[in-house]
Structure 1
Amino acid sequence: MDDRFNTAAGWVLFAGIVALGGSIVSGMYFAADKHAHVEEPGFFIQGEAEEGGADAGPDLGTLLAAADPAAGEKVFAKCTACHTANQGGANGIGPNLYGIMGKPIGKHAAGFAYSSALSGHGGNWTYEDMDAWLANPRGFANGTKMSFAGLSKPEDRANVIAFLKANGGGPDYPAPAAPAAEDEAAAPVEGEEPTEAEAAGAMGADEPVAEEAAAVTS
C-alpha cells in the first residue's frame, strides 16, 4: 500500500515539476511577462494652423498717428541704462540715439563700435525697420550685441518711435491704412421683382422735372 502511494505521489510530483518547467520555458520563449516593444512609433498627424486666428491690430501708420512722445519717454526709461537720446549725449553701452530716424542703420553715432550684424544690415532707419528692431532686436539683426529682448506691445513701440523722432526729427510718418470700403448695396437682379424702396426710387427718377416758368411780361 505504501509503495503504491509513494509511487503515485512521485508521479504526481514529477508531473507538477514538468508542468512548471514547461510554463517557465514557454514564458521565456514567447516573452509573455514583457510588454511588446514597438521598434518604430506610429507617425503623428500635425494639424494645420488656423488662418486668421490672431488679430493683427492697427497698422503702423495708424499707431504712429496716435503715438505720444511723452508716453514713449516713459517706456524709453528701460533703455537709459545703455542709451542716451539728447543732442550731444554720450555713447554708453549702446550708441546715442539723437536724430537716429532716417539715418544709416548701424552707422549714425560717430565713434561707436557697432556689431557687424547691425552695421552690415544696410539701409536707413525707416519707421518699419525701427518697429521691427524694437520688437525683436535679435530677429532683426541676428548677432547683435544688444541683449534687450524687445517691446511686445505695438503701442509702446510706436510711442518710443515718436519719442525718438521728437529728439532729432525724422521723415514723415507713413500714412495710416485706408479703412476698408463698405460693400455697396447690391443692385437688383434681373428678373426679380423690385422692392418697394427700389420701385419708389424708379418712379421718382422717371417723373419729368418741371420746367421753369416763363418770364412774366410787364
Structure 2
Amino acid sequence: MIKTVLGATLATLLPLMALADSHAMEGDAEAGEKVFRKCKACHAVGEGAENKVGPMLNNIVGRQMASVEGFDYSKALGAMGEAGEVWTPEAMDAFLTKPRDYAKGTKMAFPGLRKDDDRADVIAYLMTFSDEGS
C-alpha cells in the first residue's frame, strides 16, 4: 500500500519537477543581450567573433568544453573538455552562477551572475548564436 501511494506520488511529481526545470531554463534573449554587456570585455559573439581574454562564444550550446581553437584554457576546463563534458544550458547555468566553484582553478575572474533570470537570459541570448538555438 505504501509503495503504491509513494509510486503514484512520484509518478505525479516527477513530470512536474521536470516541467519546472525546463521553465527555469527559459530566458529572454533580448534581456540577455543587456546582461551580456558584463561579458563583452572578455568574450565575443556574432559574425567575426574572435577570442579575447576569454574564448568566443558562438555555438557554445552543445559544444564540448574547452574546445575553441586557439584559446588557452585553464587546466580545470581543459580536463573537463578532455572528459567529454559539454556546455548544456544546465552546465552553463551552474558555471555562470559562480565560475570558480564550478571549475576549481578556472582562469575566469568573473564572480558570476547571482540572479536566476540573468543567467537564463544570457543563456537564451547565447543560444541565438548557436546551431542548437537556431
Give me the TM-score of the superposition, normalised by structure 1.
0.49
Q: What is the CA deviation profile of residues 118-171 of structure 1, one whole-angstrom value per residue up to 9, with x for unaligned ones?
A: 111131111110000000100110000000000000110000000010112327
Task: Specify which of 69, 73, 76 is matched with residue 117 of structure 1.
Answer: 76
Give the Cα–Cα distance (whole angstroms) in 2 for the partners of residues 103 and 169 of structure 1: 10
Residue 147 of structure 1 pairs with residue 109 of structure 2: yes
SS at match of 1:120: helix
Q: What is the CA deviation profile of residues 174-217 of structure 1, one whole-angstrom value per residue up to 9, with x for unaligned ones?
A: xxxxxxxxxxxxxxxxxxxxxxxxxxxxxxxxxxxxxxxxxxxx
Task: Specify which of 158, 182, 199 is matched with residue 120 of structure 2.
Answer: 158
Tell me, yes or no, if the aligned pair for 1:102 and 1:171 is still in contact at 8 Å.
Answer: no
Larger Rg: 1
Q: How does 1:62-81 map to 2 (within 5 A)?
A: 62-65=23-26, 67-81=27-41
Residue 129 of structure 1 pairs with residue 88 of structure 2: no
Residue 138 of structure 1 pairs with residue 100 of structure 2: yes
The alignment covers a number of residue pairs equal to 113
Give the Cα–Cα distance (whole angstroms) in 2 for the partners of residues 129 and 87 of structure 1: 25
Residue 95 of structure 1 pairs with residue 55 of structure 2: yes
Give the Cα–Cα distance (whole angstroms) in 1 for the partners of residues 115 and 92 of structure 2: 14
Q: What is the CA deviation profile of residues 103-132 of structure 1, one whole-angstrom value per residue up to 9, with x for unaligned ones?
A: 00111x210001110111131111110000
> Which has the higher relative contact order, 1 or 2, with Cα contacts under 8 A spaced 6 or more apart?
2
Contiguous gaps of at least 5 residues in structure 2? 1-18
| Offset of residue 59 of structure 1 | 4.1
Give me the TM-score of the superposition, normalised by structure 2.
0.78
Residue 82 of structure 1 pairs with residue 6 of structure 2: no
Give the Cα–Cα distance (whole angstroms) in 1 for the partners of residues 117 and 78 of structure 2: 27
| Offset of residue 87 of structure 1 | 3.2
Give the Cα–Cα distance (whole angstroms) in 1 for the partners of residues 133 and 32 of structure 2: 18
Tell me, yes or no, if the aligned pair for 1:136 and 1:150 is still in contact at 8 Å.
Answer: yes
Give the Cα–Cα distance (whole angstroms) in 2 for the partners of residues 120 and 146 of structure 1: 15
- Identical-residue share of aligned pairs (%): 44
